[in-house]
Structure 1
Amino acid sequence: MAVRVQDVITALEGAYPTALAESWDAVGLVCGDPESVVQRVLFCVDPVEATVDEAIDFGAQLLVSHHPLLLRGVHGVPADDPKGRVVHRLIRSGIGLYCAHTNADSAVQGVSDALAAALGLTVRGPLVPHAEGADTGLGRIGELPEPEPFRDFVRRVADGLPTTVWGVRGAGDPDRPVRTAAVCGGAGDSYLAAATAAGVDAYVTADLRHHPAGEHVARADVPGARVPALVDVAHWASEWPWCQQAADVVAAALPDTVEVLVSTRRTDPWTVHAGAASDPGRALA
């Protein structure tokens, strides 16, 4: 029996229930016919022209993305608008688009689980559970097999994620031992307090802003304070491991019926990096 778009959606929503999505989010089928036949599915972080190109090249009938295409209300999708152009190209190419966003963030075995696995962490539970004792929630707390210096942990993060111009940045004592870490795929500086309360040695997330990060690190100077060191990565890179996880969900639910592929297009927006001084303080002297 032919696999249809709805069959893939059923598999994805079994793993990432839409009930877990935040109230402001826009998840689900964006365009395409649920009854259309599917033979190939491409998984990506961003539904942009580069990944639409890849879906067309792959011969996919469905593109599954983490980020929504139409998160905020729109009054039209004209072809001369960037988002409208994506919609038009998908429809003309016979490709549906399905988005799993904050429901994939909060699900058991979701985005942050995939990030933790990429870093070699054994997950112990959510960083911000939906309820006391719940397995669902945002972020994850994990543990390394053995402690290692923070500088080595930062290198571990860089080695475990796809390379980006943004790179990987660490804030903390390079010699500090790291055994436990919290991770949050995507922008996670709103959970700095949760990471501190969890008592972990390091916190890995994306899009850390100057003031929240600086104020957080300054608390490490308070006697008796236990403040995690920070690792800042590119937003796209932090969520890319989920693509393989989602592809595996569909492949397991529909074995030998659909071909799955994880996008290799680097859709992180940053394209140029001028480098950094190894000793910024001395560079100003």
Structure 2
Amino acid sequence: MTTLADVMAAAERLWPIAGAESWDAPGLVSGDPRATVSRIVLAVDAVAETIDEAIDANAELLLVHHPLLLRSVTTVAETTAKGALIARLIRGGCALLAAHTNADSVATGTSARLAELVGLTDARPIVETAPGIGLGRVGRLPEPMTLGALARRLAGILPLTATGVRVAGSFDRVVTTVAVCGGAGDSLLNEPAVRAADVYVTADLRHHPASEAVETARVAGGPALIDVSHWASEWLWLEVAADELREALPGVEINVSELRTDPWDFVVVQ
């Protein structure tokens, strides 16, 4: 019999909470550690659709990448979105566990998975906190390719989203060194490893940081930018996490949600 406490212990071995950023809130969000767990569903986000999916599948745990209660919360009344979700989980007998930046930084984390699928060699963290551990990854393509070809490769790797792949840079620019950061990565734009790369692949690039990076590159050098869906860049990691949990928790059924939780539904191209 596997308990939620056993799953939490396995998660701690795989994604130590000590590796999380100071502002983060990974770990158990709701649920009784003494409860039995026979089925787990993995998703990037705890939203109504993934919670319903987990409960309908009779899963006792929904393990997500993004903590539901990351920002300040003063109520879980069901008149609020988060309160309604927590209540649905509790009534459905489904616990909620999050592995966020602690899962980003490990050697098999979100950015490492993206780097692997892009085909980078000798990938290392952009910001290293221990050997092989840290945020983002930077490495080299086996063969140089154009920025446009790399963008197309990413479009083929990532699950489909309305916003697709956006690029700042010349289509024909030849790139070899690639920095990647799954999820929102504009905080790493000024890191030396990013500045020295030919291209930086991340998500949620806002206007001002992206514009400043483009202008800085014109004056002092710097990477082209590729902006992808936050959800898509992290969803790729879920199957790795599932495989690691299957090995750590034999006998527990572990499934990856294929529901798209990217918030955008369609885009009108001008």
If the length of structure 2 is used for normalisation, what is the TM-score?
A: 0.95
In 2: Cα distance, 1:242 partner to 1:9 partner: 19
In 2: Cα distance, 1:53 partner to 1:164 partner: 21
In 1: Cα distance, 2:6 partner to 2:240 partner: 17
Q: Does 1:237 align with 2:232?
A: yes
In 2: Cα distance, 1:59 partner to 1:116 partner: 34
Q: Does 1:265 align with 2:252?
A: no
Runs of 5+ in structure 1 lacking a partner? 277-285
Q: CA deviation at 1:71?
A: 1.0
Q: Equivalent pairs: percent with the same residue? A: 53
Counterpart amino acid of residue 236 in structure 1 = W
Q: Does 1:141 align with 2:138?
A: yes
For the 8 Å contact 1:40–1:259, the answer to whether it is kept is: yes
The root-mean-square deviation of aligned C-alpha atoms, in Å, is 1.5
Q: CA deviation at 1:114?
A: 1.5
In 2: Cα distance, 1:195 partner to 1:139 partner: 12
Counterpart amino acid of residue 177 in structure 2 = T
Describe the SS at the equivalent of 2:265: coil
For the 8 Å contact 1:196–1:226, the answer to whether it is kept is: no
Q: Does 1:5 align with 2:4?
A: yes
Describe the SS at the equivalent of 1:41: strand
- What does the per-residue CA deviation read over 1:3-58, in whole Å, with 9 as the maximum and x for residues that have no partner? 11122111111111000112221111111111211111111111111100110222
In 2: Cα distance, 1:201 partner to 1:195 partner: 12
Describe the SS at the equivalent of 1:86: helix
Q: CA deviation at 1:198?
A: 5.4
In 2: Cα distance, 1:151 partner to 1:4 partner: 48
- Name the counterpart of 1:247: 242
In 1: Cα distance, 2:122 partner to 2:187 partner: 21
Describe the SS at the equivalent of 1:143: strand
If the length of structure 1 is used for normalisation, what is the TM-score?
A: 0.90
- Report how many aligned residue pairs link the two structures: 270
Q: How does 1:66-215 map to 2 (within 5 A)?
A: 66-130=65-129, 134-194=131-191, 199-215=196-212
Describe the SS at the equivalent of 2:237: helix
In 2: Cα distance, 1:221 partner to 1:23 partner: 34
Q: CA deviation at 1:144?
A: 1.8
Q: CA deviation at 1:196?
A: 5.6
In 2: Cα distance, 1:107 partner to 1:146 partner: 27
Instruction: Identify if the C-alpha distance between structure 1 residues 121 and 196 changes in structure 2 by more than 3 Å, giving closer, same or farther.
Output: closer
